[in-house]
Amino acid sequence: MAGLLAYCRAGFEGDLANELQEKAAQLEIFGFARTKANSAFVLFDCYQPDDVELLARQLPLRDVIFSRQQFACLAVLDDLDPTDRISPILAACEAFPLCGDLRVEYPDTTEGRELSKFCRKFSVPLRQALRKAGKLTQKENPKKPVLFAFFTSGQQLFLGFAEPVSVSPHALGIMRLKTPAEAPSRSSLKLDEAIQIFLTPAEQESRFQPGMHGVDLGACPGGWTYQLVRRGLFVQSVDNGAMAPSLMETGQVRHFAEDGFKFRPKKKNVHWLVCDMVEQPVRVAKLMAEWVLEGWCKEAIFNLKLPMKRRFETVQQALQAIEGAMGSRAYQIQAKHLYHDREEITLHLRLKN
């Protein structure tokens, strides 16, 4: 058995499976997805074992919307002996390349989290054994592949590796953030995570500068506005509801009690448009494309609320709507089901220079 193993939020296995199936087929790599409801991971089995590493290279983590972390899985070990788990692991990874780091992880589920203590403890002797066997560098090497040992129980293990450019730096692929005390709502974390996922630290520094202007559509009570304000932006917050007084007191926010679909900025000095409106995904997608095309903003980060069923199909429809609106204009789009997202995904859209 050889395939691409990808983590996701529990309950989104079907959406991730559909996405992997489609994107692998676009690369002319064929196989089938093994899923189990609420397991928080999917194994896409390739019909040709040699295709696994090719798929892992050609389908990086950033291009898979519903994946939090993924690796080329080259071995599955069942019925591990609790008295000696290391020997079969060493035997299974004999043909692996020299790796520069080790991740011993588990699914992000109630049952999976019960393995966290075991994985943390087990990583110490496993790391030592892998170094002794010449499968792991003596010191961490960020230029080498990352070796993954993914436990689903004390007896079952998925083993593989990933190139460092396609590995989330966060444990389990989860960016954990604390809600700032001043933030008006927890939704604030969605935009904070999105900015850190979609932009490098250098890009954040150059494209979020004090004195820049932003617009927040569907802003009430101000969770997303807060993230722009704390980065020094002046914000036009658009919502018929009330904004948090703490934000209005900053002097950086102007509140417009208007419909987010009808609001237009008076000047073309807006760099960032952000939007977290509860509305039909295709309608929001078309609005975001219009803002970027008309030059009403330079970049947009926005959420699309997804139905309980056919989530991936809904995402495809929204992306097609943006593509249709953009016509011949070259643009860049990124999309991710973030840790702080629920039944929604977050996207970043801008025109290419």
Whole-angstrom distance, CA of residue 212 vs CA of residue 233: 5
259 marked as binding residue: yes
Q: Is 84 exposed, middle or buried (0-12, 13-18, 19+ CB in 10 A)?
A: exposed
Give the pair of three-digit tokens for residue 165.
């450019």
Rounded to whole angstroms, how far apart are CA atoms 24 and 56? 10
Q: Which of 305, 309, 336, 352 is catalytic?
A: 305
**239 labelled ligand-binding:** yes
Element of type H or E holding 41: strand 41-46
Residue 187 counted as an annotated binding residue: yes
Tokens at 313, concatenated: 């199909």
Residue 220 assigned to a binding site:
yes
Side-chain half-sphere CA neighbours of 16 within 13 A: 31
CA distance 54 to 269: 44
Q: Which two tokens stand for residue 254?
A: 């102007």
Cis bond before residue 221 (omega within 30° of 0): yes
- Do the annotations mark residue 46 as ligand-binding? no
- State yes or no: is 305 an active-site residue: yes
Q: Tokens 């494209």, residue?
A: 207
Among 189, 260, 179, smallest CA distance to 224 is for 189
Residue 276 marked ligand-binding? yes
Q: Which two tokens stand for residue 133?
A: 């066997």
Ligand-binding site membership of 112 (annotated): no
- For residue 198, give the amino acid letter: F
Residue 128 CA to residue 122 CA, distance in Å, equals 10
Alpha helices in the chain (DSSP H): 13-26, 51-58, 86-92, 110-113, 116-132, 188-198, 201-207, 223-229, 245-248, 281-294, 311-326
Residues flagged as binding site:
187, 220-223, 239, 259, 276
**Residues recognised as catalytic:** 305
Residues flagged as binding site for S-adenosyl-L-methionine:
187, 220-223, 239, 259, 276
